[in-house]
């Protein structure tokens, strides 16, 4: 039997988390508070002796920097890491850049909640070439950049990456850290904790809080727990 550990961490507070704006694939950096959250996550991993041996992250600055700050403070900046767009945040389509409260005033709380948390209703598409369209960003060269994504669409890209790249590391007994985003991590937690399409609407992932799953032979062997509470 091979035991392993999966650590999931949502990036620390970003500039647009602070400004309450839909972010999705737009690339924003961490705030000072976000950096402090990442540092605390690394210190917690060190204190608990839960030390990553291999890392995965998205192509987005806020997740990459959270990973690096956390690893630095856990003494693990040297471990191998993979960056892949398949771990990016869910694409927020035409909502990208808008203020969440102003959007709720305009379209109603209920509609905004559907766009934010429904399983399979995507936000309106982003206009190609518009201000916050990441379609021409060099990091996405050769990728068919979506124009919007529901959680269901996000799961359809995150899970195959998880199965192909992350599960083999867990089967080998690695301590894997995935530094990603609210909705790309909701996609993973939905799968790992077997949460239904209806119940996933109620799941929130806080910034900078490592979530840990124990694994045996490449399968989760227990429920998720916050490392701070373990
Ligand atoms: O992309 C965003 O705006 C956030 O990272 C997640 O936002 P949400 O909680 O509205 O899905």
Residue pLDDT, tens place only, 146-187: 999 999 999 999 999 999 999 999 999 999 999 999 999 999
What is the 155 CA–ligand 1 centroid distance (Å)?
15
pLDDT for 230: 76
Q: Which residue has the tokens 């991590």?
A: 185
Which numbered atom of ligand 1 lies nearest the CA of 21? Answer: 3
Question: HSE (CB half, 13 Å, CA atoms) of 9?
Answer: 35
Which tens digit of pLDDT belongs to each residue from 213-226?
999 999 999 999 99
- DSSP state letter for 145: -
Domain hosting 188: range is 3-226
Residue 69 has pLDDT above 80, yes or no: yes
Mean pLDDT, range 54-72, rounded to an integer: 98
| Residue 129 pLDDT grade (very low, low, confident, very high; cuts 50, 70, 90) | very high
Q: Is the CB of 183 under 6 A from ligand 1?
A: yes
CB atoms within 10 A of CB 159: 15
- Name residue 211's beta-bridge partners: 8, 226
115 with 151: CB under 8 angstroms? no
Q: Which of 213, 206, 205 is nearest to 177 (CA)?
A: 213
pLDDT for 223: 96
- Name residue 7's beta-bridge partners: 177, 212
- The span from the CA of 213 to the CA of 43, in Å, is 19
Percent of the chain surpassing pLDDT 70: 100
Average pLDDT, the chain: 97
Mean pLDDT, range 70-89, rounded to an integer: 98
Look up residue 81 and give its two tokens.
């890491």
Sign of the CA dihedral with 211 first, then 217, 220, and 222 last: negative
- The span from the CA of 68 to the CA of 28, in Å, is 16
20 with 97: CB under 8 angstroms? no
Alpha-helical (H) ranges within 49-133 are 61-73, 100-107, 109-117
Which tens digit of pLDDT belongs to each residue from 3-48?
999 999 999 999 999 999 999 999 999 999 999 999 999 999 999 9
Pick the residue whose CA is nearest to atom 10 on ligand 1.
Answer: 116
pLDDT for 226: 98
Q: Could you give the ipTM of this predicted complex? A: 0.96
pLDDT for 220: 97
- DSSP state letter for 32: H
Which tens digit of pLDDT belongs to each residue from 100-111?
999 999 999 999
Mutate to test the pocket of ligand 1, among 22, 60, 87 (most ligand atoms within 8 A of CB): 22
CB atoms within 10 A of CB 139: 13
pLDDT for 15: 98
Which residues participate in catalysis according to the annotation? 11, 89
Look up residue 47 and give its two tokens.
């204190």
User: Which CATH number fits the domain that encloses residue 123?
Assistant: 3.40.50.1240
Q: Which residue has the tokens 């690695």?
A: 174
Residues 6+ apart with CB under 8 A from 81: 54, 55, 56, 57, 67
pLDDT for 118: 94
CB atoms within 10 A of CB 104: 16
pLDDT for 87: 98
18 with 31: CB under 8 angstroms? yes
User: Considering the entire predicted model, what is its pTM?
Assistant: 0.98
Residue 229 has pLDDT above 90, yes or no: yes
Look up residue 82 and give its two tokens.
């993979």
What is the 22 CA–ligand 1 centroid distance (Å)?
6
- DSSP state letter for 211: E
Which numbered atom of ligand 1 lies nearest the CA of 22? Answer: 3
Q: Is the CB of 23 under 6 A from ligand 1?
A: yes
Total structural domains in the chain?
Answer: 1
- DSSP state letter for 46: H
Residues 6+ apart with CB under 8 A from 109: none
């Amino acid at each position: 039997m091979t035991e392993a550990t999966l650590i999931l961490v949502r990036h620390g507070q970003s500039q647009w988390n602070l400004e309450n704006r839909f972010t999705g694939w737009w690339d924003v950096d961490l705030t000072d508070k976000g950096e402090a959250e990442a540092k605390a996550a690394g210190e917690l991993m060190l204190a608990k002796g839960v030390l990553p041996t291999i890392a995965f992250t998205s192509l987005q600055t806020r997740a990459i920097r959270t990973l690096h700050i956390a690893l630095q403070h856990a003494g693990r900046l040297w471990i191998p890491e993979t960056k892949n767009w398949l771990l990016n945040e869910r694409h927020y389509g035409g909502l990208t850049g808008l203020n969440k409260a102003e959007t709720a005033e305009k379209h109603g709380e209920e509609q905004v909640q559907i766009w934010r948390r429904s399983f399979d209703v995507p936000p309106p598409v982003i206009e190609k070439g518009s201000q916050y369209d990441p379609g021409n960003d060099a990091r996405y060269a050769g990728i068919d950049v979506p124009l919007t994504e529901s959680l269901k669409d996000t799961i359809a890209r995150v899970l195959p990456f998880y199965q192909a790249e992350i599960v083999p590391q867990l089967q080998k007994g690695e301590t894997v850290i995935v530094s990603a985003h609210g909705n790309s991590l909701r996609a993973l937690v939905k799968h790992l904790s077997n949460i239904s399409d209806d119940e996933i609407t109620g799941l929130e992932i806080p910034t900078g809080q490592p979530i840990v799953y124990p694994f045996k032979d490449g399968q989760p062997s227990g429920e998720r727990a916050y490392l701070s509470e373990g």
